[in-house]
Amino acid sequence: MELKQIVEPLIKWYEQEGRKLPWREGKNPYHIWISEIMLQQTKIEAVKKYYDRFIQELPTIQDLAKVEEDKLLKLWEGLGYYNRARNLKKAAIQIEEKFNGKMPKTYQDLITLAGIGEYTAGAISSIAFNQKVPAVDGNVLRVLSRVTKSKKDVLLLETKKEMTRKIQEILPKQAGTFNEAIMELGETICIPNGEPLCDRCPLVNICLAKKENLVMQIPVRVKKTKRKKEEITVFLLKYKNKIAIQKREQNGLLAGMYEFPNQKEKMTKKKLEEYLKQKKIIGKNIKKVGTHKHIFTHIEWNMTAYEIETQEELKGYLWIQQKELKNKYALPTAFAVFQKYIK
């Protein structure tokens, strides 16, 4: 089987079956960029509403470059991995300063921007500007591995490099359409979990994994690292109709985000009372209100939240009204789940 055989059927299929998505209309590079960054960790259906709101609030690169961080993070609330939002703004400033406010066209220029890696640079330059560059993500790796019955570990960088070389060799003139087509096939037909929908696949007569009944064994993914587990006790400190929040440090996990005060250890109610005493905090009506497990890429948080009424607005925290929490301050999902316990 020659790999270039996949090009024509894929493009034909995509032109007929490709989903109509808001960021694909008009090939606006700014729209494609924002959507690609959102899609890095989130599914298409979930991204749509965030995308529409983001573009409405920040319709141009110039608006993005000027936006205040709190507003930006609020717009990103719910999408997670907040550094993506910060990098968008950094890159918008770079575009203003280095590229006269216009999105650069080439892979080489795009990759110099904050938050834009090989895949995103390839996607923007090929889809928005039809440059002949591959854009290889997990979907593409899966489709290629299956079509060629490759048993190489798709989590290895060298496998990705080899697949990227193979795609580069077969890229047609309509490189952007081809890249979109193969990604779309991976998202909708040659799916990652469960059986792929081979009977609806334009490559069914070419695909070697299908021919040799290997579709459930490919792609091969060899997992290595185990997630580190951490216990977190969350304090929902309340005084009158206000609640305490604080800003996280500017580095590390959820950098610079707002959070409820917390301590990295598991506390029983008794232990918590001792802790408050040590800190000279007078708290009453202390009660455990809920638990939550939050999974990041490398860390798992087992969280327990306590409601504590204080006798004053304790120093060192930002005391805010509940509605401000909804409208003004972006809480990452790990903490936002406890909002429902604040009455």
Q: Closer to ligand SF4 at the Cβ: 197 or 282? A: 197
Residue 318, interface with ligand SF4 (CB under 6 A)?
no
Among residues 196, 193, 222, the alpha carbon closest in space to that of 210 is found at: 196
Which CB sits closer to ligand SF4, 149 or 248? Answer: 149
Q: Which stretch binds ligand SF4 (CB under 6 A): 122-130, 206-214, 223-231, 239-247?
A: 206-214
Is 32 among the residues that bind ligand SF4 (CB under 6 A)?
no
Q: Is 198 in the site for ligand SF4 (CB under 6 A)?
A: yes
CB of 221 to ligand SF4, least distance (A): 15
Bridge partners (DSSP) of residue 87 are none
Q: How far apart are CA 266 and CA 269, in angstroms?
A: 10
Mask for 214-233, x = binds ligand SF4 (CB under 6 A): -x------------------
Q: CA distances (Å), 153 to each of 142, 161, 162, 214, in order?
A: 11, 12, 11, 15
- H or E element, residue 325: helix 322-327
Residue 201 found at the interface with ligand SF4 (CB under 6 A): yes
**36 is known as an active-site residue:** yes
Which of 245, 249, 270, 267 lies closest to 258 in space, CA to CA?
A: 245
Which of these segments, 20-28, 158-166, 190-198, 298-306, binds ligand SF4 (CB under 6 A)? 190-198
Asked if 35 and 51 touch (Cβ cutoff 8 Å), the reply is yes
User: How far apart are alpha carbons 224 and 220 in whole angstroms?
Assistant: 13
Coil, strand or helix at 338: helix
Closer residue to ligand SF4, CB minimum distance, 41 or 205: 205
* Interface residue list for ligand SF4 (CB under 6 A): 143, 146-147, 189-190, 196, 198, 201, 203-204, 207, 209-210, 215
